[in-house]
Amino acid sequence: MILYTIMPEHLIFPVDAAVYEKRKMVYYDGIPFLVQSVETGEYEIVQNLSTNPFHFLNAKYAPGARFPASLATS
């Protein structure tokens, strides 16, 4: 489908609010992460928001890794 408009797509087709609620920013080991909750009661890392480049070398903090929701602080 082609929409002949200059309106941004997300203004025409707003995404369901539930999608936003799934993702949030939490701190884990003092590092900020963008996470999404998974069915197992864990958080899956979507994005590592740290500015310390060494935090990106640890597999524990890589996108896709999971940690228990109870370990997250905000």
Residues that bind other proteins (CB under 8 A): 5-8, 10-11, 15, 19-20, 22-23, 25, 32, 34, 49, 51-55, 57-59, 62-66
Residue 32 vs residues 13, 35, 46: alpha-carbon distances, Å: 30, 9, 11
Question: Among residues 1 and 11, whose Cβ is nearest to other proteins?
Answer: 11
User: How far is Cα 34 from Cα 12, in angstroms, rounded to an integer?
Assistant: 26
Smaller CB separation from other proteins, 2 or 11: 11
Nearer to other proteins, 1 or 15 (CB): 15
Helical spans, DSSP H, in the chain: 9-12, 17-22
